[in-house]
Amino acid sequence: MAAKRRPANRKKKGTASPGKVPWLKFALLFCGLCLLAFFALMQAVRSGVFGALPSEEELSSIQHEQATLVLDRDGALIGKIFAEDRTNVRYTDLPRHLVQALVATEDARFFSHQGVDGRSYVRVFFRTLLGRDKSGGGGSTISQQIIKNLYGRDRHGLLTVPVNKMKEALVAQRLERMLKKEDVLVLYFNSVPFGENTYGIEAAAQRFFGKPTKRLRIEECAVLVGMLKANTTYNPRLHPEASKGRRDQVFEQMRRNGDLTATQVDSLRKLPLNLNYTGGDALDLYGYFVKHVQAEARTILKDLGKKNGRPYDIEKDGLRITTTLDAELQRMAHIAAHQHLAVMQPKLNA
């Protein structure tokens, strides 16, 4: 009996058909090239190809400009002189619920990472970029946000985003090697912008609630932390409803992080904003007087100098100027003048 012939067109087991793309090999090659490009770019950023990175010495000696405060005879604030409205705080000035609100909202693993949170980058890639879920948030840690706030971001064409992200990651790690976690939080709260040319938590607390940071209530902390996502969109004076909604989101994040119970969140949601805004308009009562104080202080400071020999800068050195003004008498005089003008103006217009 003749043996049966094997069909000529039958393929050997394990061989690829002609023209078929080996997708697995292609995917592995593509991933390898991406990793190679990533590490090459990282090395270029680290070596200063896209600009020098701040040194450890520079990071350890960061100082912020501070507004000069003008006080009445009893020590009450009546005005500020500043280039940027900022008054620095210490860690002991930060209420526990303020720190909890920030960490829960901006960087849940702040106390466990070393400046960069790899899990957040994975979340951003799959949830925000692939899933198109904008609520997934960004991948920047608190330390990375500090670097962005202090040093800004440069443009590098198509590489702008990856280069800036790498810079912030590298410097954030360097920052956390130099500072304790508590010092990082203080640096953040003293540098973050709140809009209206207001920088730092102390200036924001005074502006929106008329009190120092250490006296902020939990709902007030949540309002200010909520502003960090978009300080104009969630400005409680300009957009109270949006601000309240964002505040409630902060409460929910604190619940997820174990800082609040569901019952506490339900109670806090019912609270109104209760602002005590003391911005530029509120200080106009003393504006004329503060201008004269500023001019007089500049004259006095010309003959004075710091211990290092440098001159004082009234707009940046955080001075305290106590005046002889009686704020209550000034307020009464202001009211009397307006009442008198209300009576006289119609006669003058007649």
Helix, strand, coil percent values for the chain (each to nearest 5): 55, 5, 40
- CB contact at 8 A, 88 and 202: yes
The full length of the chain comes to 350
Q: pLDDT tens-digit profile of 52-85?
A: 888 877 887 776 667 788 888 888 777 777 666 6
- The number of C-alpha atoms within 13 Å of 242 and in the hemisphere containing its C-beta is 12
Residue in the structure block whose two tokens are 């094997």: 6
Max distance between CA atoms of the chain, in angstroms, equals 133
Least confident range from 108-112, 114-118, 306-310: namely 306-310
Give the residue with greater pLDDT, 252 vs 8: 252
Predicted TM-score of the model (pTM): 0.69
Percent of the chain with pLDDT over 90: 36
Give the residue with greater pLDDT, 319 vs 256: 256
Least confident range from 38-47, 105-114, 210-219: namely 38-47
- CB contact at 8 A, 227 and 234: yes
Residue ranges in the chain assigned as alpha helix (H): 23-46, 56-60, 96-106, 118-123, 142-151, 160-178, 181-191, 201-209, 218-227, 240-256, 262-269, 287-301, 327-349
Q: Is the pLDDT of residue 129 over 50?
A: no
Q: How confident is the model at residue 91 (pLDDT cuts 50, 70, 90)?
A: very high
pLDDT at 249: 97
pLDDT at 265: 97
pLDDT at 344: 66
Rounded to whole angstroms, what are the CA distances from 36 to 49, 156, 215, 252? 17, 20, 51, 41
Q: How confident is the model at residue 123 (pLDDT cuts 50, 70, 90)?
A: low
